[in-house]
Amino acid sequence: MSRFYLHQQIANGIIEDPDGTEAVDLTAAKHEAILAARQLLANAILAGVAPLGTAFQITDEAGHVLMTVPFADALPPRFITTY
Partner 1 sequence: MPHPTQSFVRNSLLSVIDATGYAAIGPHLEPVDLPRGTVLIEACKPFMHAHFFNSGIGSIVVSTVDSRRVEAGIFGREGLSGFGCLLGVDQCPQTTLVQVEGEGYRVSIEALRHACQQSASLRETLLRYVHVFISQTSYTALSNANQSIEGRLARWLLMCHDRVAGDDIALTHEFLSIMLAVQRPSVTTALHVIEGYGFIKTRRGHIAIKDRDALVDFADGMYGVPEAEYRRLIGPFG
Q: Which residues pair with 22 in a beta bridge?
A: 3
User: Are the CB atoms for 9 and 16 separated by under 8 Å?
Assistant: no
Name which position in 11, 12, 19, 77 contacts partner 1 (CB under 8 A): 19
User: Are the CB atoms for 56 and 37 separated by under 8 Å?
Assistant: yes
Secondary structure of residue 6 in the 3-state scheme: strand
Under rule CB under 8 A, residue 76 binds partner 1: no
Return the range that interacts with partner 1 (CB under 8 A); candidates 23-31, 51-59, 60-68, 73-81: 51-59
Binding site for partner 1 (CB under 8 A): 6, 8, 15-19, 21, 32-33, 35-36, 39-40, 43, 46-47, 52-53, 56
